[in-house]
Structure 1
Amino acid sequence: MKPTDLVVTPTHLRFLNRKFPCSIGKGGIRDDKKEGDGATPRGTHNLVGVLYRPDRIEKPTDRAKPIHPRDLWSDDPSQPDYNQQVQAPYIYSHEKLRRADPLYNLVILTDWNWPNAVKDRGSAIFIHRWRKPGHPTEGCIGLRPADLAWIAPRLSPTTRLIVL
């Protein structure tokens, strides 16, 4: 592990020699992640993008892409675009990226089961703000908004997410 890696335990994330409280999935950390189990997948994952709400926050990094009103994420394992960003209208199961709440104002995308998704292995493992301290996610990594905003511009193309 390098200091430039994001290292996650059940309660904290370490990055650049700093320690941040975090939330993980309600299903805990698992080796056998499945769609809908609420687990955070153990392992080493690459970071593949940053998304942000331009109507709510400033662009956090040059690499960040805006979340538009029709942006969705497919979580339907029966579809060929499972675990991919898609556009509305989309009749299959999906998650809205442009949410009414602030959860996805800033999102760091991981390569969990991406780009060639395996059916039912799980989708949308993101790093985003938490709902509140200690409140579990559906499998993502949740951080305080200020910590997420500090981390995002300091990510490098070689930064990895390591879930212990």
Structure 2
Amino acid sequence: MDIHVAKAADGSHVLSWNGRSVPCAVGRTGIRLDKREGDGGTPVGSFTLRRVLYRADRIDAPRTGLPVSVIARDDGWCDDPAHPDYNRPVKLPFAASHEDLWLDSIVYNIIVILGHNDDPPVPGLGSAVFFHLTGADYGPTAGCVAVQLPDMLAVLADAKPGDRMVIAPSPQAMAACDPVERRPDCFW
């Protein structure tokens, strides 16, 4: 199954799968062809859904065909391009720059790890690009894709190993790419 993320005509973003569409949030700088660490952009591409992490103290394990693990208080994710564990899970305390996965907010109550820049990670091309939860305002993320809890549970109920999140560039970015050039950022 492919889960599609694209910009709607009204400027909002939509996540679609199996004939369903729901609103979603993306990075504060939008969907980007040239994703870099810390730019606030959601990368264009096709990313395998690797696994699901969830807060067992807040919600039940989601029903899904994907591998599922509980988030622990000491779970983090390295976002330091100079560190050997860049774009990898780490245990806290961790001296290098990192994301805490145990948050006070609801956004990481469920995290789907996406196969972005992970095979192998290339320093500086972005880390911790997840599919996670958003609040009612669909405020921008730091580069992830986010939906509300009922929508996340519906996606996960349909998900299985090998499924992908496909994040589309804007029509303007697509128009700027010449298919003859075969630039790596013009893969569609």
Describe the SS at the equivalent of 1:146: helix
Q: Distance in 2 between matches of 1:38 and 1:138?
A: 5
1:20 to 2:22 alignment: yes
TM-score by length of 1: 0.94
TM-score by length of 2: 0.82
Query: Which stretch shifts more, 128-137 or 42-51?
Result: 128-137
Match of 1:40 among 39, 42, 51: 42
Are 1:84 and 1:115, in contact at CA under 8 Å, matched by a contact in 2? Answer: no
Residue 61 of structure 1: CA displacement? 3.4
The match for 2:116 is 112
Are 1:108 and 1:152, in contact at CA under 8 Å, matched by a contact in 2? Answer: no
Q: CA RMSD in A?
A: 1.1
Match of 2:6 among 9, 21, 29: 9
Matched residues, number: 161
Q: Distance in 1 between matches of 2:137 and 2:47?
A: 24
The match for 1:125 is 129
In the TM superposition, what whole-angstrom CA distance separates every residue of 1:93-112 from its partner, at most 9, and x where no partner exists?
Answer: 11110111111001111010
Give 5+ residue unaligned stretches, structure 1: none
Q: Distance in 2 between matches of 1:137 and 1:17?
A: 25
Give 5+ residue unaligned stretches, structure 2: 8-12, 169-188
Percent identical: 37
Residue 134 of structure 1: CA displacement? 3.6
